Amino acid sequence: MREQAEQQYDGRIQQHPSSPIHEFHVSAGSPSFDDKEALARVVAIDDDRVWLEPMQGGSCGGCASAAACGSKGIGTIANRLEARRFAVAGRFGLRVGEEVVVAYGEGKLVKAAAVAYGLPLLFAVVVAAIVQAQFGRDGLTLLGALAGLALGFLAMKAASSRLEAGGGLEARIVRRVGPATIPIFPTGN
Amino acid sequence: MREYLLLLVSAALVNNVILARFLGLCSFMGVTTRVDTAVGMGMATTFVITVSSMADWAVETWLLEPNGLGYLRTVTFILVIAGAVQFTEMAVRKLSPALFQMLGIYLPLITTNCAVLGVALLLVEGKMGFLQSTLFALFSSLGYSLVMVIFAGLRERLALADSPRLFEGPPLGFITASLLALAFMGFSGISA
């Protein structure tokens, strides 16, 4: 299957008009991800969708998956990773435990982070500074910061709706991860 | 105003969390392979450091210090930080599931980032008012984000550079980090 894939796909990006997966890549050797890609693991498969869990790369390999973590409960790493699971429509012939590369629209991550974290923080600090300048008391400034944070979260909700309307926030599966990256073929799902 | 400008230069550059205090090194090495991920991680950490510092200031000022419970500071702060992180995730998830999903894929969990606890403990040493401590936390985390983005930009270029095979990846990353730390040492002259 893989040999056939390597023969058929020569490394250039190709498009399949009937598939919900937009890109098919083949990259030989060690995986090289561009700016908008991330790793995820298949944790469940429904009739018409695949459930994925983000793989936490980088600093600590121990938290790579909720399934690898013994302790569960509110606030634990396993619990938080479980909360980050998401679904992608289609099955693509994937099996539970397989690793795939998922992608979002380019440049969306920075915008999403700015909206989710930047806006509430900006509101909190600005309102706290105004309250401090007006009243000069720490207790009131703290209350002002909390009120600003609440306002900021409301602003975040409004801004995120606008961002969603612009599109590009939906994850799509790009390819499987293997010893050499294997393209995903449409399976008719 | 001058006081706050000095606080900005001191917290973000002279006493940079990563390159002067050597905190948050795990994320510094782990999440700096791409600039956009580093920007996202910087924003997330900035939010968590600032918000948890607000809560830590309140706990320290109104609970720990008046009751002589300073020996519980580290444990309490860890609890407060974990609560702040959990609250943030719940709020983002509830208010914007699409953003939560996207950020969850790209940004690692922040609980174990020692920079968050380090800044909170530094605030106690500083004996500052609420706004000052909040701005100190904000500026410290902006310094953290600045270094993350600079380092990610350097690593993106280094990945394309023709380097000896033995030095590829983390070894070259560590050498670059040390050179960056030396460059930031230049800011310490400002405090003299």
Q: Is A108 on the interface with B (CB under 8 A)?
A: yes
| Contact check, Cβ <8 Å, B108/A56 | yes
Q: Which tokens in the block code for residue B28?
A: 């510094």
Per-residue DSSP letter, B32: -
Closest-CA residue in chain B for A121?
Answer: B47
Hunting for tokens 């612009």 — which residue is that? A166
* Average pLDDT taken over every residue of chain A: 69
Mutate to test the interface with A, among B106, B110, B140, B156 (most CBs of A within 10 A): B106
- Each residue of B59-107: pLDDT tens digit? 999 999 999 898 999 999 989 988 888 888 888 888 888 888 777 776 6
pLDDT digits (tens, 9 = 90+) for B149-171: 999 999 888 888 888 888 888 88
B133: pLDDT strictly greater than 90: yes
Backbone angles phi, psi at B127, to 5 degrees: 50, 55
What's the confidence (pLDDT) of residue A104?
75
Express each pLDDT in B2-22 by its tens digit: 888 888 888 888 889 999 888
Q: Which of B44, B42, B76, B82 is nearest to B57 (CA)?
A: B76
Residues 117-156 of A with CB under 8 A from B: 117-118, 120-121, 124-125, 128-129, 132, 138, 141-142, 145, 149, 153, 156
Q: How many CB atoms lie within 10 A of CB A171?
A: 19
Distance CA A138, CA B131 (A): 7
Question: Which of A54, A114, A132 is the closest to B105 by Cβ?
Answer: A54
- What single-letter amino acid sits at B160? L
Structure confidence at residue A66 (pLDDT): 47
- Residue numbers in B near A141 (CB within 8 A): 130-131
Q: Predicted ipTM?
A: 0.87
8 Å CB contact between B102 and A112:
yes
Strands, sheet with A49-54, edge to edge from the N-terminal-most edge strand: A86-89, A49-54, A37-45, A99-103, A172-176
Q: What is residue B34's predicted lDDT score, i.e. its pLDDT?
A: 82
What pLDDT shows up at residue A80? 67
Residues 6+ apart with CB under 8 A from B83: B55
Q: Percentage of residues in chain B with pLDDT exceeding 70?
A: 95
Do residue A121 and residue B51 have CB atoms under 8 angstroms apart? yes
Helix (H, G, I), strand (E, B) or coil at B26: helix
pTM over 0.80: no
pLDDT tens digits, A99-144: 888 877 667 788 888 898 999 999 999 999 999 999 989 999 999 9
The pLDDT, as a whole number, for residue B153 is 92
Chain segment A78-100, per-residue pLDDT in tens: 666 777 787 787 777 788 888 88
Cα–Cα distance measured from residue A2 to residue A181, given in angstroms and rounded to the nearest whole number? 9
Q: What is the pLDDT of residue B25?
A: 84
